Structure 1
Amino acid sequence: METVFTPWMSLAGGVLIGLASVLLMLFNGRIMGATGIISGAIFGGYDRWWRVALLAGMICGPFLVLAATGAWPAIQVPVSKPMILIGGFIVGVGVTLGSGCTSGHGVCGMARLSPRSIAATLTFMLTCALTVYIIRHVIGL
């Protein structure tokens, strides 16, 4: 599998994520962590509806791409379904142990210079790099 370098698309995506995070903090006083948003949408109380609206917007994204370009966005998942399930379980454990996800710690926590978020981000980035190395170069998948 080849990893394609897309600096302009990556920059645009990063800018949009940063802008969305800043706007959510400005207007709602909330940190944009994906797992907290999903959890609050499912189990939340008084502030559930903005979370549901945000998730609906994420789901509508591919439909907007289809409407704008006439084609579905290209999505490639180069691993098997069992690997996706195992990876999802491992991520779920990490999110629980780390008290947050990559978006909460990596985007919002790092921007606030939170020592806990800096440590969490370093941990998941190093773990990710090690996992990719082992899967691609040691196991050879």
Structure 2
Amino acid sequence: MNLDWSAFTPVASAFGGLLIGAAAVLLMGGAGRIAGISGILGGLWTPERGGSWRVAFLLGLFASPWLYRLGAALPAITVEAGTARLIAAGLLVGIGTRYASGCTSGHGVCGVSRGSPRSLAATALFMAAGFGMVYVMRHLAGG
């Protein structure tokens, strides 16, 4: 295995992790809400669950790359998948978040840190499915 040293960014990664953790703690402590993106986005379509905090949270997500760009260059993004594969992947992720009652941010970041058994199981399944799919795509499907 070769390490791409130009993509090795432990300081930026640690800082990003601290920001994600701080946002999750602030949302939980301030609003009593879980910082799960699928729930935050899905709540916008349900009037009784909506709220300005959801819009502010999502605007912060979309604004963060632009703010990052003020201090450093954004990394190059390379997508090595066709449109059909990206659409299929998006649909599968969406279906998975419905079956798991949440996404990787809600379960993996917030649920695991709270010791939620459901989130621990969901995160283990997310990871296993990811490992399995990478194996299939790289070794069996020739991708």
Fold match (TM-score > 0.5): yes
1:7 corresponding residue in structure 2: 10
Distance 1:121 1:20, change over 3 A: same
> What is the CA distance between 1:86 and its match in structure 2?
0.5
Deviation at 1:91, TM superposition (A): 0.6
Q: 2:43 touches 2:49 (CA, 8 Å); kept in 1?
A: no
Percent identical across equivalent pairs? 46
For normalisation by structure 1, the TM-score amounts to: 0.87
Unpaired segments ≥5 residues, structure 2: none
Q: Which residues in structure 2 correspond to 1:44-123 (within 5 Å)?
A: 44-45=47-48, 47-69=50-72, 71-123=73-125
Q: Which residue of 1 aligns with 2:22?
A: 19
> Which residue of the partner structure matches residue 125 of structure 1?
127
Separation in structure 1 between the aligned mates of residue 60 and residue 23 of structure 2, nearest angstrom: 12
Q: Indicate if the aligned counterparts of 1:66 and 1:73 stay in contact, CA closer than 8 A.
A: no
TM-score (norm: length of structure 2): 0.86
Offset of residue 14 of structure 1: 1.7
Paired residue total: 139
Unaligned runs of 5+ in 1: none
**Could you tell me how far apart the structure 2 residues matched to 1:73 and 1:6 are?**
11
